[in-house]
Every structure is written in structure tokens, then in C-alpha cells.
């Protein structure tokens, strides 16, 4: 190993939910950790889900009972450690005469789901007959409606903030977090990993570190990451593309989430109240294209619009109704044949001994099971590190924003500097850490937008305007994508980071280009 570079026990490549979770667990167990991502944290698969913390009701159909049980147990844990970000969500399943899954099968699935969620902290399911379902949801398509099941799972409104808080906890435990740092090469010496070489994509600077173990948590980029260490191509990932559209309230829009069997192909999809809007998705299509430019296709958009209009006939949604759409690739294990929905969602922690000892890759996984995946992964690191590791602590460690919620709420309510609506938004986004935003606002006499910008840079390792808008302040996910505030945010960031006018202009161009890429052609 080179002696002039920082040395770590573990280098984690990828700062999505899995990489962040592994970094936190490893750091809490006393390991020296660095985590790197080629883009910002939570800028890939973790941000393109349906934003549900769920057991995976659909997985029962493929007899993945252990995965459902694990997910439901983790749902309990995650609600305990991040109550400010993860909230119960009631989901309805309307059953139509033309559906492949009838009322009896749905009922049996509900009973099994409840049995597997022993110790749950949400209510159990109930079944409604046709008349009761129509009374409960007048906007629903009545023709052919036979029954409706209702059950509870949970929602994480802002997955970006969740991953961020995991990384903040990891940093507090000693982890070194490097965003916008692309790994150029996994360094191997005598058949064992010895470190990484990487490029800071913001400054252009080259860097490197020594590491005894490397965990490749690159999501759909796992094979590309392995290619930096191996001349022989590997194909562990066989990702499927998922797309969502985001629309405003529509005629007959429900208060609850809906889980509906699509008429076109029988695949279940969601219609979910989210961020004062509605999130509709997802699709599931095999994908082998450019991972850096995944967009919802016209066919996917039309499919989601048509199915939503079928279920809620007064909606009359068109492309003009869509505020934005997002798409990404699930890092599933490669499988050449069979339906996409049948590809397992179980995670795989794969030692890449054929490339180098001390190298592991994470394949698959779900938002809901990241913590358990991380625990299993860090347990596996003890042997190559030659250390006896203490037990995992993440099941009881609350995330930073879960502390001081009552105190933050009281401070925001007492402040004359913000409105009640702004106070509610701050609590939704920052949890108890909203008090820190307010303290910065008061100390430096800044307007709220500018205070949040400075806070994102100083406290939340934001480095670009896109980081700030789309993954810190979360206004990039509003109906207008926060566009009216871009100028003010750019001015505040430029002052804080010392950007020149040209640098600020380039940042604004990049932000607008990213926001525009989420728009749907009309």
C-alpha cells in the first residue's frame, strides 16, 4: 500500500441507501470507513422508488415468504428509528371482475401478510364489499367492482433525506463521506484489494486511498465498478427499469393510496398521495441502456395515465397533467428469462474472489431492508479484516432528525421569522434538525431560503445547486420544481462557496437542465 494516502478499513462505493447503511454500521462498529459516490448521495436507484416502506405484498405471489417477513420486521424498526420521515400509509386494493386475482385470493394474501407482520405497529387489514367500497371511495370506477381490501404499510416521503441522515450519522461516527467522487480504479496487489483511485468531479482533482476491504454498493453500476478492477467483463446485474409520473390533485382523487392490478398486463401499480401531489407507478421493464440517462418513455407514461384514468374515470389525466416524471434501474440479479416481476428482490452479498480477495458486491436489495442488509454485509467483513467486530447497533440508533422533535416544533411555532406553513415544511424535511436551520437563520439574519442553502452546504455536504434543490431542500420535487427560487439559491450558494459569476451561471444551467430532464413531452 502507498503510505502517503489516507488508509481505511473499509471503502464503500455508492452512497445510495445500501452504501449509506453499510458505512454507518461499519463506522459504529469501530471501523475506519470512507464512502464515495460518482454523483450526489441518493441520486440513483434509491430516489426512484415508489417511496414505500413495505413488506412487499406482491412477493407472496412468488412464495418469497422470508423476504416479506424480513421486510415487515424492518418496517417496525425503521418507524422507530426515523419516525419523522416514515409514516403509516393506508393502501386500498380494489378487486374487479376482470382481475386475475379475485377477492378470495386477495383475502388470503391479506391474512398471510398480517400473520407475517407479527408485532406490527399499524392496524391489520379489512375487506369491504362492493357497496361499502363505493361508499368509501366514490371516485373509484364502479363498473365491475367486486370488493376492496384495505391494509397499512408505511411511506418515506423524501427518500433523499433518509439517505442523507444515515450518512450524517455515519459521519458523526467517524466515516469520511465523499460525494461527486467517481472511482476510476480498484487497486489490486498480489490478488487482494489495496485501495481506490478516484476523481472529484466538482474540482477535477485526482485522489486515492488505501483500503483493506472494498464494498461495491454501486446499484445498477455494480458491473461498471467491477470493470475498474477486472479486465474480464462481469454481468451480475440484470436491472429492470421503473418509471413514475407525478400529477396534481384530480377529480375524484383519493385520500388513501391505491394498489391496483393494471388491465393492460395484470401488473400491480400504485396511485399514492405524496408531497401534496400524486405519485403513480411503477413500470417494470428489462433495461440494458445508458444508466446515466434513464428517462420515462412515452409508452410508460401513456400506460400509467391510461390505467389511472381507468381506475378513477373522472380524473381525465393527460400528459399536460404531469408535473414531472422520474425513472431508474433496479439493481436486480441477472436473469435472462421469465417475467420481470418474478426476479427476486432479495439481496445478495457476493464476494468477488475471482477478481480479488477483500472485494464484495451488493446485488439487489430494497429500501425497506437496507439496515438488515448492512448488518449482514458488515458481519461478513470481520473475516477479511481479521477482527472480531462488536454487535450491530443500528436497530436501536435513531437517525439525527428523530431527536428533539418536540423542541424543534415549539421553537418553530414561537418564531416570528417564519410562517406556520414554513414551520410545517421544515419539520417534514429536517425533523428535529429544523431547530438548527432556525438557529442559523436567526444568528446570521438570513431569509429562510438563504438559510437553508447555507445549511445544506455547511451541514449536509451539498456541493452543487442540484444537490441543494433536489436532495436537500426538497423543493425540486414540488409541482414547480422550485424554479422561482433558483436565482436566490444560486446567489446564496455562490456567496458561501466563493463561486465566480461564470461558475454560478454554469451551476444554474446544470440545475435547469436536470430539472427539465424530468419533464414529460406534451
How confident is the model at residue 100, as a pLDDT? 85
Q: Considering only 170-179, 256-265, 332-341, which range has the smallest mean pLDDT?
A: 332-341
Q: By percentage, how much of the chain surpasses pLDDT 90?
A: 85
Q: Which CATH class is domain 86-153+238-330?
A: alpha beta
What are the residue boundaries of the structural domains of the chain, listed by start?
7-45+160-234+344-385, 86-153+238-330, 403-517
234 vs 449, higher pLDDT? 449
DSSP labels for 293-308? S----HHHHHHHHHHH
How confident is the model at residue 59, as a pLDDT? 84
pLDDT confidence band for 2 (50 / 70 / 90): very low
Round to whole Å and give the CA distance between 462 and 180.
Answer: 10
Contact of 13 with 221, CB cutoff 8 Å: no
Q: By percentage, how much of the chain surpasses pLDDT 70?
A: 97
How confident is the model at residue 522, as a pLDDT? 76
CATH topology of domain 403-517: Helicase, Ruva Protein; domain 3 (1.10.8)
**342 pLDDT exceeds 60?**
no
Round to whole Å and give the CA distance between 389 and 391.
Answer: 7
Calculate mean pLDDT across residues 432-441. Answer: 98
**182 pLDDT exceeds 70?**
yes
Q: Considering only 1-5, 46-50, 441-445, which range has the smallest mean pLDDT?
A: 1-5
How confident is the model at residue 369, as a pLDDT? 95
Calculate mean pLDDT across residues 317-332. Answer: 95
Round to whole Å and give the CA distance between 221 and 350.
Answer: 15
Chain segment 279-317, per-residue pLDDT in tens: 999 998 888 888 988 999 999 999 999 999 999 999 999
- The packing angle between helices 65-81 and 103-116, to 10°, is 60
Pick the closest to residue 346 from 328, 326, 327, 330 (CA basis).
Answer: 330
Q: What is the CATH number of domain 7-45+160-234+344-385?
A: 3.50.50.60
How confident is the model at residue 417, as a pLDDT? 96
Show Cβ contacts of residue 464 under 8 Å, excluding neighbours closer than 6 positions. Answer: 40, 180, 202, 507, 510, 511
Round to whole Å and give the CA distance between 318 and 325.
Answer: 13
Calculate mean pLDDT across residues 379-389. Answer: 97
**27 pLDDT exceeds 80?**
yes
Show Cβ contacts of residue 54 under 8 Å, excluding neighbours closer than 6 positions. Answer: 71, 75, 153, 154, 368
How confident is the model at residue 1, as a pLDDT? 41
How confident is the model at residue 3, as a pLDDT? 46
**337 pLDDT exceeds 70?**
no
Contact of 475 with 485, CB cutoff 8 Å: yes
Mean pLDDT taken over the chain:
94
Q: Considering only 113-122, 260-269, 425-434, which range has the smallest mean pLDDT?
A: 113-122
Contact of 47 with 14, CB cutoff 8 Å: no
pLDDT confidence band for 126 (50 / 70 / 90): very high
Round to whole Å and give the CA distance between 355 and 362.
Answer: 15
Contact of 20 with 168, CB cutoff 8 Å: no
Which region, left, alpha or beta, applies to residue 399 given φ > 0 means left and ψ of -120 to 50 means alpha? beta
Chain segment 343-361, per-residue pLDDT in tens: 556 789 999 999 999 999 9
Amino acid at each position: 500500500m502507498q503510505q502517503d494516502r489516507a488508509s481505511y478499513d473499509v471503502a464503500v462505493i455508492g452512497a445510495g441507501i445500501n452504501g449509506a447503511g453499510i458505512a454507518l454500521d461499519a463506522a459504529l462498529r469501530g471501523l475506519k470507513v470512507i464512502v464515495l459516490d460518482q454523483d450526489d448521495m441518493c441520486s440513483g436507484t434509491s430516489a426512484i422508488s415508489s417511496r414505500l416502506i413495505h413488506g412487499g405484498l406482491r412477493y407472496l405471489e412468488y412464495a418469497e415468504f422470508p423476504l416479506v417477513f424480513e421486510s415487515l420486521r424492518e418496517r417496525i424498526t425503521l418507524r422507530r428509528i426515523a419516525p419523522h420521515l416514515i409514516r403509516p400509509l393506508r393502501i386500498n386494493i380494489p378487486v374487479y371482475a376482470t382481475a386475475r386475482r379475485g377477492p378470495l385470493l386477495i383475502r388470503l394474501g391479506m391474512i398471510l401478510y398480517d400473520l407475517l407482520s407479527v408485532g406490527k405497529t399499524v392496524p391489520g387489514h379489512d375487506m369491504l364489499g362492493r357497496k361499502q367500497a363505493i361508499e368509501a371511495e366514490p371516485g373509484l370506477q364502479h363498473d365491475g367492482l367486486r370488493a376492496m381490501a384495505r391494509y397499512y404499510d408505511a411511506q418515506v416521503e423524501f427518500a433523499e433525506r433518509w439517505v442523507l441522515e444515515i450518512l450524517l450519522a455515519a459521519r458523526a461516527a467517524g466515516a469520511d463521506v465523499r460525494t461527486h467522487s467517481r472511482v476510476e480504479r480498484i487497486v489490486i496487489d498480489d490478488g487482494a484489494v489495496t485501495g481506490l483511485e478516484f476523481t472529484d468531479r466538482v474540482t477535477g482533482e485526482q485522489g486515492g486511498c488505501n483500503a483493506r476491504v472494498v464494498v461495491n454498493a454501486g446499484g445498477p453500476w455494480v458491473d461498471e465498478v467491477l470493470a475498474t478492477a477486472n479486465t474480464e467483463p462481469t454481468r451480475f446485474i440484470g436491472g429492470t427499469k421503473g418509471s413514475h409520473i407525478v400529477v396534481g390533485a384530480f377529480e375524484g382523487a383519493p385520500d388513501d393510496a391505491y394498489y391496483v392490478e393494471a388491465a393492460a398486463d395484470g401488473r400491480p401499480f400504485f396511485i399514492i398521495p405524496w408531497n401534496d401531489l400524486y405519485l403513480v407507478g411503477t413500470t417494470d421493464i428489462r433495461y440494458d441502456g445508458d444508466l446515466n440517462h434513464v428517462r420515462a418513455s412515452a409508452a410508460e407514461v401513456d400506460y400509467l395515465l391510461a390505467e389511472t384514468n381507468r381506475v378513477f374515470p373522472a380524473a381525465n389525466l393527460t400528459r399536460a397533467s404531469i408535473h414531472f416524471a422520474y425513472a431508474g434501474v433496479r439493481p436486480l440479479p441477472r436473469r435472462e428469462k421469465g417475467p420481470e416481476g418474478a426476479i427476486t428482490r432479495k439481496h445478495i452479498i457476493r464476494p468477488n474472489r475471482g477478481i480479488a480477495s477483500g472485494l464484495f458486491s451488493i446485488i439487489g436489495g430494497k429500501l425497506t431492508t437496507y439496515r438488515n442488509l448492512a448488518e449482514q454485509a458488515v458481519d461478513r467483513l470481520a473475516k477479511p479484516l481479521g477482527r472480531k467486530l462488536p454487535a450491530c447497533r443500528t436497530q436501536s440508533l435513531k437517525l439525527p432528525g428523530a431527536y428533539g422533535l418536540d423542541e424543534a416544533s415549539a421553537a418553530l411555532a414561537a418564531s416570528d421569522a417564519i410562517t406556520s406553513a414554513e414551520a410545517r415544511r421544515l419539520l417534514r424535511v429536517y425533523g428535529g434538525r429544523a431547530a438548527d436551520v432556525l438557529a442559523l437563520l436567526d444568528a446570521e439574519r438570513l431569509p429562510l431560503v438563504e438559510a437553508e442553502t447555507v445549511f445544506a452546504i455547511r451541514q449536509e455536504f451539498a456541493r452543487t445547486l442540484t444537490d441543494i434543490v433536489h436532495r436537500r431542500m426538497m423543493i425540486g420535487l414540488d409541482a414547480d420544481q422550485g424554479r422561482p427560487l433558483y436565482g436566490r439559491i444560486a446567489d446564496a450558494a455562490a456567496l458561501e462557496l466563493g463561486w465566480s459569476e461564470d461558475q454560478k451561471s454554469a451551476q444554474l444551467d446544470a440545475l435547469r437542465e436536470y430539472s427539465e430532464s424530468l419533464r414529460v413531452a406534451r
